[in-house]
Amino acid sequence: MTERKCAEEKLRKSEEKYRDLIEISPDAIYVVDAQGICVLGNRAGAELAGIPQDDLVGTPVTETYLPEELYLFRERIEKLQAEGTLRFERKFVRKNGEIVPVEVSLSAIRGGYFQAILRDISERKRDEALLAGEKRLLEMVAKGNPLGDILDAICRLVEELCSGSLCSILLLDSSGKRLWHGAGPSIPKPYADAIDGFVIGPSVGSCGTAAYHAEQVIVSDIATDPLWAGFRDVALVNGLRACWSTPIFSFDRKVAGTFAMYYREPRSPAPQHGDVIEQITHLTSIAIERERAEEALRASEQVARGQVEALTYSLDVLATAPAPDKFLGQMLSTIGRLLNAQSVILWLLDETNDSLVLRAWAEGTNFAKADPNHPFIKNPLSWKDDPGLQEMFFSGAPSVCEDIENDPHVSSALREYLRSGGTRKFLRIPTLVGGHVRGFIGIRHEARPPYRPKEIELAQALAHQAMLAIQLNEFAEQSRKAAVLEERNRMARDIHDTLAQGFTGVIVQLEAAEDAIACCRRKEANEHLQNASELARRSLNEARRSVRALRPQALQQGNFWEALKGIIKNTTAGTALHTTFELRGKLRDLPLVWQENLLHIGQEALTNALKYAHPRNFQTRLSCNANELRLELHDDGDGFKVKEQHDGFGLAGMRERVEQMGGKLTIASSRGKGTKVVVALPHNHEPTL
């Protein structure tokens, strides 16, 4: 009996020592019987399970398994019985339902029991997931994925790392006053809509306050925090009780937006939350800065393209001299297209009476818009009641209205008119000549983000080009009138020097012939008549020469076919473009207008091919038969979509010339397959060359 008692005492002391050892262990330790029932557990095990330590005994291990993973418990027990030890990772379900990743070391002990040592690896898993998430996000940034997709992925990553969180990213606009929705895949939509575009301030929820003060704002209970007075109701009705907001800084330490974590119960952040938030806001900053850099580059390119396109139109004025109203309409339409505007209107100031005059109005491709209900049309002097216009005419600087409802610089009459047309904001760009404001271009928009500096810069550049084009158009008209006057003077001189003198000589000879006949000197009379005939013939030749002087120089030495071939050969000389010419049938004697028009059409087709198509071959074919003359111009260049809108005047000029001749123009082209221009004219002239 003494030996037995000694053995029992040793066993008791051994168990007490074992209990003391496992009790001080930072890892959760459980002793489990063959049925999976806990018979012993330490303090760390109770904390991991989320129950009092006294309740551990008798608790089935299966209660800590996810239902879909219960089969793994039996598999692991069987494997343990065969191998003696086992090591694996699993998801541990706490009493409150929270899932904790753990690393398990399982070993068999005497008496058919098993010892399980569990270590919480949440931090390691979170770090691994965060690192993998950062890698994915940086790859998205490097690939140029849309900013919205990247911000959504950032929110989902944090929601995965921080169980129960709902994440939101808001972006600060260029004015630095409003926060707009950036991402929030799990945020209730009614709440997201309610806070979209709100003005930041010293006490405007978590995000508005964080953006205003440029510092983190932690609200553990929305229901009681005074910062949420303005948004408390909409937050609570959508089940949001806590919100931690952190400002997102740009590379130059300016606030670019906010990152917020919401919870559906009152809650304060743990230390691990701070590490995640710091990493995530840095990643978000990188994504936003990359997008802004690309946006700035796109805006710069848009400015350059807009200036080049507008300048091209301006130069076209000198080349084509279209109707001024049509030209201005096309210019304004281009401005509207590049800026996605509702409408674009050009107003000029009549300095004789200080009234505004509508010069052009474009809505899409409608260049003839004019609304008699517009306040400035109903009363051209009413612009003086508009503070914004008065300031613009005084300063010569663009005027920006982001909100017509609340902008004090908009007159009440204009506000009411714009509101009725769905306009929410507008730009006014002054048109300057010699530093003096001659008028302005009004650019209207419906709801849209705030105007960016690059957009205003583009509008100014286009307005400048429009005004330049107007001046060029005026100069071209003045030059045309001067050229007409000069040509009239030339013809007057020719008439005086040739026709008048010739007709005078004819009259003198006819009078002498009349005297000779009266005196019966027939031979002398015949000589005078012959002299009169020769003088008339010479005068007629001089008249023809004066008319020919009005033709293009290229047509003076031959017909249009030879002239066109000469122009094409001269233009393409020394280039890689291979040109071929083919004349089928006999070329008839064509009206001068036809020759000039066909020559210009050929020149335009060649110019378009060289400028835009980059062809290797250019084929010119002229076919003549009894009923029709057919000119075909074919290149094998890049081609274009004929049905797309083309803002230049080249194609329109071709059509107008063909219509003038009563013919038909056909243009066939597609991307990568070249372009073919065909002019078909009906024949009604008999002589041939």
With 50 as the cut, is the pLDDT of residue 497 above it? no
CA distance 61 to 38: 7
Q: Which of 87-101, 234-248, 507-521 has the highest mean pLDDT?
A: 234-248
**What is the reported pLDDT for 195?**
92
With 70 as the cut, is the pLDDT of residue 133 above it? yes
Where in 56-156 does DSSP place strands (E)? 85-93, 99-109, 113-120
**More confident position, 360 or 484:** 360
With 90 as the cut, is the pLDDT of residue 190 above it? yes
Least trusted range by pLDDT, from 274-288, 502-516, 573-587, 616-630? 502-516
Q: Is residue 92 part of a domain?
A: yes
With 50 as the cut, is the pLDDT of residue 687 above it? no
Q: Is residue 72 part of a domain?
A: yes
**Are residue 433 and residue 341 in the same domain, yes or no?**
yes
How many CB atoms are located within 10 Å of the residue 70 CB? Answer: 10
Q: Is residue 225 part of a domain?
A: yes
**Are residue 272 and residue 354 in the same domain, yes or no?**
no
With 80 as the cut, is the pLDDT of residue 679 above it? yes
Residue 475: pLDDT band (50, 70, 90) is confident
Read off the pLDDT of residues 598-643 as tens digits, 9 standing for 90 and up: 887 887 888 778 777 888 999 999 999 888 899 999 999 888 776 6
CB of 119 closer than 8 Å to CB of 27: yes
Retrieve residue 585's tokens: 């049938």
Taking residues 249-273, what's their average pLDDT? Answer: 91
Residue 440: pLDDT band (50, 70, 90) is very high
**More confident position, 519 or 296:** 519
Q: Is residue 403 part of a domain?
A: yes
Work out the mean pLDDT of the chain and round it to a whole number: 81
DSSP per position, 330-399: HHHHHHHHHHT-SEEEEEEEETTTTEEEEEEEEBTTB-B---TTSHHHH-TTGGGG-HHHHHHHHH---E
Q: What are residue 28's DSSP bridge partners?
A: 118
Where in 418-502 does DSSP place strands (E)? 425-433, 436-445
**What is the reported pLDDT for 35?**
85
Cβ neighbourhood burial of 100 (10 Å; 0-12, 13-18, 19+): buried
Cβ neighbourhood burial of 96 (10 Å; 0-12, 13-18, 19+): exposed
Query: Which of these, 283, 278, 251, 258, lies nearest to 136 by C-alpha position?
Result: 283
Q: Which residue has the tokens 């939350």?
A: 273
**What is the reported pLDDT for 551?**
47
Read off the pLDDT of residues 382-401 as tens digits, 9 standing for 90 and up: 999 999 999 999 888 999 99
Kindly report the CATH number assigned to the domain that includes residue 28: 3.30.450.20
- Per the document, the length of the chain is 689
**What is the reported pLDDT for 217?**
95
Residue 681: pLDDT band (50, 70, 90) is very high
Retrieve residue 463's tokens: 């307005």
Taking residues 24-45, what's their average pLDDT? Answer: 88
**Are residue 447 and residue 489 in the same domain, yes or no?**
no
Taking residues 179-185, what's their average pLDDT? Answer: 92
- Helix ranges, 144-270 (H): 147-161, 189-195, 205-213, 232-237
**What is the reported pLDDT for 688?**
37
Q: What distances in angstroms separate CA 325 from CA 6, 317, 579, one per listed residue?
A: 117, 12, 39
Domain of 36? 14-120
Taking residues 201-230, what's their average pLDDT? Answer: 94
Q: Is residue 689 part of a domain?
A: no
Retrieve residue 186's tokens: 């799990």
**What is the reported pLDDT for 500?**
47
**Are residue 116 and residue 133 in the same domain, yes or no?**
no
- Of 101, 120, 139, which residue sits at a domain end? 120
Retrieve residue 230's tokens: 């303005």
**Are residue 139 and residue 286 in the same domain, yes or no?**
yes
Residue 550: pLDDT band (50, 70, 90) is very low
**Are residue 332 and residue 434 in the same domain, yes or no?**
yes
Taking residues 498-527, what's their average pLDDT? Answer: 67
- Of 492, 525, 548, which residue sits at a domain end? 548
**Are residue 281 and residue 186 in the same domain, yes or no?**
yes
Read off the pLDDT of residues 572-602 as tens digits, 9 standing for 90 and up: 655 567 899 999 988 888 888 888 888 878 8
Q: Is residue 541 part of a domain?
A: yes
Dihedral sign, Cα of residue 192, residue 195, residue 196, residue 201? negative
- Of 96, 120, 144, which residue sits at a domain end? 120
Kindly report the CATH number assigned to the domain that includes residue 425: 3.30.450.40
**Are residue 557 and residue 540 in the same domain, yes or no?**
no
**Are residue 562 and residue 652 in the same domain, yes or no?**
yes
How many CB atoms are located within 10 Å of the residue 631 CB? Answer: 23
Q: Is residue 1 part of a domain?
A: no
**What is the reported pLDDT for 227?**
94
Residue 466: pLDDT band (50, 70, 90) is confident
Retrieve residue 565's tokens: 């071939």
**Are residue 25 and residue 162 in the same domain, yes or no?**
no
Taking residues 177-196, what's their average pLDDT? Answer: 92
Residues of the chain by 3-state class (helix, strand, coil), percent to 5: 50, 20, 25
**What is the reported pLDDT for 565?**
87
CA distance 476 to 485: 14
Give, to the nearest 10 degrees, the angle between helix 501-518 and helix 522-548.
Answer: 170
Retrieve residue 569's tokens: 């050969």
Give the number of domains in the chain.
Answer: 5
Least trusted range by pLDDT, from 202-211, 585-594, 677-686? 677-686
Taking residues 472-491, what's their average pLDDT? Answer: 68
Least trusted range by pLDDT, from 24-38, 237-251, 291-305? 291-305
**Are residue 416 and residue 524 in the same domain, yes or no?**
no
Q: Is residue 28 part of a domain?
A: yes
Q: Which amino acid appears at position 300 of this protein?
A: S
**Are residue 240 and residue 177 in the same domain, yes or no?**
yes
**What is the reported pLDDT for 669?**
87
